Amino acid sequence: MSEVYAARRERLRERCTAGGSAAALISRPANVRYLAGAAPQGAVLLLGKGEDLLLCTGPPGDQPAQGRLDEALRVQLLERPGGDPAVAAADCAGAQGAESLAVEEHHLTVARHRAIRSVAPRLRLADVGGAVEQLRVVKDEEEISFLRIGAEIADQALGELLESILVGRTERHLALELERRLVDHGADGPAFPTSVATGPNSGRRGHRPTDRRVEEGDFLSVCLGATYHGYRCEIGRTFVIGTSPAEWQIELYDLVFAAQRAGREALAPGAAYRDVDRAARQALESTGHAEGLPPLTGHGVGLEIDEDPQLAPAAMGKLDACVPVTVEPGVHLPGRGGVRIDDTLVVRPEADGGPELLTITTKELLAL
């Protein structure tokens, strides 16, 4: 496993060197984990002129760490309690003879940046930008296998919930129940706060569960995901409660279903992000639902639940093979409720069978 992390660091080092910095300081936790195997709380990674170094505030075993640290990586503990590992790293970089240090300006605060400058005034501070996030976009097969297992866990948790009695239970309790089941089936934990939305709340993206109880005739929309070995997937489904859905419910469901299928079918290596978004979006816009549509219809997933790429109207770039993304259009009618359907898929070339669907729970409109 150690080679994987060393290879990732090497790719980053090449980018930094090309950008004029021999050393880089990585502070964003998901990026530290990607390059070091684990991210003990507060730890930063120094890609030095010589050896790479993980700087921690205390022994990694004592810190809440996610993942398993690359054993080949040298770990240095901060001597001063309460010190900032980023400042200590800059100090090390200077001592190693680096003239320039690339930092993550989109993660470091102004105050920490200033502290680095004052401890290493001769070091020229540059910006590594989103270089690590870019490396993270295309996944290797092990990363995809973690996502696949996470999706299986989410499918299982959701499937079990559907077999239970739902009417009369609150959104909050259903959400907690789903999260417990995720852990039961081996997830590290939920990938994000589980969303359960009933009746007028249904179809709202990121709805936080309330004390509203499930009623006959409701739409019920659920969005959940498992974290497995740090990798986060997402599934969203909408159901109807009772024996038979109303006419407007069937129509709205069919519409969102068609939009979501169009988005899924647009996934291919080389497809522009905005074209995938448009495929999912246009069916909704053309039927009068332009207003209130979320700014994106899908996004990358991995060590974070919301990664590059963004599938949105103004997004620049094209999909590659082995990029996992969500496709999640939805419509919410204020006061009435709505529908969201959300899958995690991996972009694959047509020769390999096209997009690989990780979240396989049925998308038929189930009446529960």
- Which residues lie near a second copy (CB under 8 A)? 41, 62-64, 81-82, 103, 105-111, 113-114, 127, 172-173, 176, 179-180, 183, 204, 206-208, 295, 312, 314
> Residue 11 or residue 172: which is nearer to a second copy going by CB?
172
Q: Minimum CB separation from a second copy for residue 84, in Å?
A: 11
CB closer to a second copy, 49 vs 114 = 114
Provide the 3-class DSSP secondary structure of residue 236: strand
Report the nearest approach of a second copy to the CB of residue 44 (Å).
Answer: 15
For 219, list phi and psi in degrees, rounded to 5: -80, 145
* DSSP code string of 176-234: HHHHHHHHHTT-SEESS--EEEEGGGTT-TTPPP-SPBP-TT-EEEEEE-EEETTEE--
Minimum gap (Å) between residue 99 Cβ and a second copy:
20
CB of 330: closest distance to a second copy in angstroms?
A: 12
Distance CA 229, CA 146 (A): 6
Cβ nearer to a second copy, comparing 228 with 245? 228
Report which secondary-structure segment, H or E, holds 83: none
187 vs 259, beta carbon nearer a second copy: 187
Q: How far is the CB of 64 from a second copy (least distance, A)?
A: 5
C-alpha dihedral sign at 68, 73, 79, 80: negative
Q: How far apart are CA 2 and CA 283, in angstroms?
A: 47
Closer residue to a second copy in complex, CB, 88/108: 108
The answer for residues whose C-beta is within 8 angstroms of residue 24's C-beta and 6 or more apart is 12, 13, 16, 46, 47, 101, 102, 103, 128, 131
Closer to a second copy by Cβ: residue 97 or 206:
206
Distance CA 361, CA 185 (A): 16
**Least CB distance from residue 269 to a second copy, whole Å?**
25
- SS3 label, residue 272: strand
